[in-house]
Amino acid sequence: MSDTTGIRRKIWIAFILQAAAISFAAVLGVYGASAVLKHLLIQRALTEEASHFWKRSEANPAAAVPDTFNMTGYVVDRGQSTDVLPEPLRPLIDGYHSLPRSQGGSLVLVQGRDGRRLYLLFKQEQVDALAFWFGVVPLTLVLVVVYVIAWTTYRASRRAVSPVIWLASQVQRWDPKHPEVSALKPENLPVDVEGETLVLASSLHDFAARIEELVARERNFTRDASHELRTPVAVVRMASEMMAVDEACSPRQRKAINRIQGAVRDMETLIEAFLILARDGDTGLPPESMLASEVVEEELEKARPLVGNKPVTLNFDLRADFRVEAPRRVVSVLLSNLIRNACYYTDAGHVTVRVDRDEIVVEDSGIGMTPDQLARVFEPFWRADIGRKDGQGVGLSIVQRLSQRFGWPVRLESTAGMGTRAHVHFPNAGPSGP
């Protein structure tokens, strides 16, 4: 399992995002509090201080303007020049102002009444100090607590999922054909594997043991079937060939012998196909380099008895030969099923096999299929014409499974009453030269 997609990394990312979101919210809150402090509370304090000054001024025109550690005031009487003011205050009009840092950065309230104008300044340094002690310091403490809690929670979560990660790594290393079930035995499990993880490990152990039994049974079946099924079929084939050359056979007997031989050929092809498909992944057959034309010629020769006395010609059209790297029996079985299927459903006309660059095309002038029939053509035991006795309805299903196993796409085109065309594409086809 990749570290970039594992559950441990996802938990870490989740906690990082959570801590970042909390930090962003806290910083935003402190910034908002600072803005409130600066633009509301201090502005209100300046406004109330100005109102208090005007009340005192009404009672005593000579009342002194506010002059404290945090606040400084100036009054310009009617007709008095503004030169008595600090230069940054001179152009200011009535209202609330915030001076830039280069000019002191003070917060200023300007109010005029009865020809007089009051200037109140609140030092920016005090605003910053208040924002620091009542904003930044608590924020820092809150973030430290959040990070410590998040880290502690992450460590606890990591320990909680560690058994699951260990179990996933064990299963990932399994060979599907030979799973290492011993690692999941109860006595071999780590001490921290408990609860649902223990149940899962026990279930996987039982499941893997069952897989081993099934793999062994499948291996034994294919080995025994390869011998036990082929031997009696070979005996029947040899006996039918000996009977076919006997001149004493009547036409009726010879017809029966031909049917036996046809059934034997079908049985041999089916047995070969089923044994190949029964093996999972490895067919047990060594790959070899072969020319497509050679395999086609062999299968066409084998298929000649299938047409019998029907007015059907078997044609071989070699346009561009190519070389295939694959088990020869697999290619033979795939082409044999396509050619046999074409012969069975062609009563007159032709069956043509064309080799062209990287594909083999089997074309016939048989009964063809409608679009609905073509959609079901790869279903096992389904036949376009159930009235025919030839075939078992599994040939095209075998072709499709072999094509999927070895990566040779198969495409069928058909028109009812006009015939069918099967294309087998070989993506890894090589040049026909040595």
Residues of the chain with pLDDT > 70, as a percent, come to: 80
Sheet strands (E) in 2-133: 71-76, 95-98, 107-113, 116-122
Q: What is the DSSP string of 13-36?
A: HHHHHHHHHHHHHHHHHHHHHHHH
Is the pLDDT reported for residue 118 higher than 80? yes
Mean per-residue pLDDT for 12-25? 78
Q: Name residue 156's amino acid.
A: A
Q: Mind listing the domains of the chain with CATH numbers?
A: 7-129 (no CATH), 285-425 (3.30.565.10)
pTM: 0.51
Mean per-residue pLDDT for 188-210? 71
Is the pLDDT reported for residue 427 higher than 90? yes
Per-residue model confidence as pLDDT tens digits over 28-81 = 776 766 666 666 777 888 888 899 988 988 888 888 888 887 788 999 888 788
Other CB atoms within 10 Å distance of the CB of residue 118: 21
Question: For residue 35, what pLDDT is reported?
Answer: 65
Angle between the 196-228 and 251-278 helix axes, to the nearest 10 degrees? 150
CA 5 to chain centre: 12
Mean per-residue pLDDT for 148-154? 80
Residue 89 structure tokens: 């205050």
**Summary mean pLDDT of the chain:** 80
Mean per-residue pLDDT for 1-20? 70
Question: For residue 294, what pLDDT is reported?
Answer: 94
Is residue 201 within 8 Å of 169, Cβ to Cβ?
A: no
Mean per-residue pLDDT for 9-35? 75
Task: Look at 208 and 419; give whichever has higher pLDDT.
Answer: 419
Instruction: List the single range of 100-109, 304-313, 354-363 with lowest mean pLDDT.
Output: 100-109
Integer Cα distance of 400 and 420 in angstroms: 16
Question: For residue 320, what pLDDT is reported?
Answer: 92
Instruction: List the single range of 159-168, 176-185, 259-268, 312-321 with lowest mean pLDDT.
Output: 176-185
The pairing of strands 312-320 and 349-356 is parallel
Integer Cα distance of 402 and 68 in angstroms: 95
Per-residue model confidence as pLDDT tens digits over 154-196 = 777 777 777 777 777 777 777 666 666 676 676 666 666 666 6
Mean per-residue pLDDT for 99-122? 85
Mean per-residue pLDDT for 390-404? 79
For 433, half-sphere exposure in the C-beta direction (CA atoms, 13 angstrom radius) is 0
CA triple 6-8-11, angle to 5 deg:
110
Question: For residue 126, what pLDDT is reported?
Answer: 64
Instruction: List the single range of 75-84, 133-142, 402-411, 425-434 with lowest mean pLDDT.
Output: 133-142
Is the pLDDT reported for residue 204 higher than 80? no
Mean per-residue pLDDT for 365-380? 89
Is the pLDDT reported for residue 363 higher than 90? yes
